[in-house]
Amino acid sequence: MPAIATSSSQGSAAVLRFGRFAAMGTVAVLILIAGVWASWGTAQHVMLTKGRERGTVDVARCGPDACWGRYTPLSEGSQPRARVVLENSVAVERGRTYSVVLKPGGDDAVRSGPAGVLYAWVPLGGALLLASVVVAGGLLRTRAAWVMALSGVGLLTAAFVTV
């Protein structure tokens, strides 16, 4: 009879390990998908610039949520505009000029170039850091967690330095 109890408890432990692996794996994947989803809203405009209006913005004024200024086109077919809105962040200062890409169908602009690309992917960097904790603690995969964490820190640091 003890042999049956031992194999039953081993089977229960295997099912619990698989359940933990499936649950934590799902959580880690969902965190990463959310990071890509949050980043792609801006990154698509910065990375896929073919056919989009590109130019520069001379920031004249800043409010609590946004900065705006005169838009000077650099791409063919783009028209100058008196007012283009740029998201107010720590990286936008009044009196400076930034290269931008205009979002289709409006006067909203996003920064372009390496600074714009890295800034667009900042949510993914945060997701990598958060998912690394789940991978290390829930999946017990420390090497993969370190790779994810260092990738997230590298992305966030590069964005901070370039912006």
User: Is 39 part of any domain?
Assistant: yes
Q: Is 98 helix (H, G, I), strand (E, B) or coil?
A: strand
Is the model's pLDDT at 95 over the cut of 80?
Answer: yes
- Count: domains in the chain: 2
Same domain membership, residue 83 and residue 64: yes
Are residues 98 and 82 part of one domain? Answer: yes
Q: Range of 33's domain?
A: 25-48+116-162
In a domain, 108, yes or no: no
Q: Are residues 120 and 156 in the same domain?
A: yes
In a domain, 4, yes or no: no
**pTM for the complete prediction?**
0.84
Asked if pLDDT for residue 65 goes beyond 90, the answer is no
Q: Please give the DSSP secondary-structure letter assigned to residue 96.
A: -
Answer yes or no: is 130 within a domain. yes
| Tens digits of residue pLDDT in 9-33 | 788 888 988 999 999 999 999 999 9
**What is d(CA 151, CA 13) in angstroms, rounded to the nearest whole number?**
33
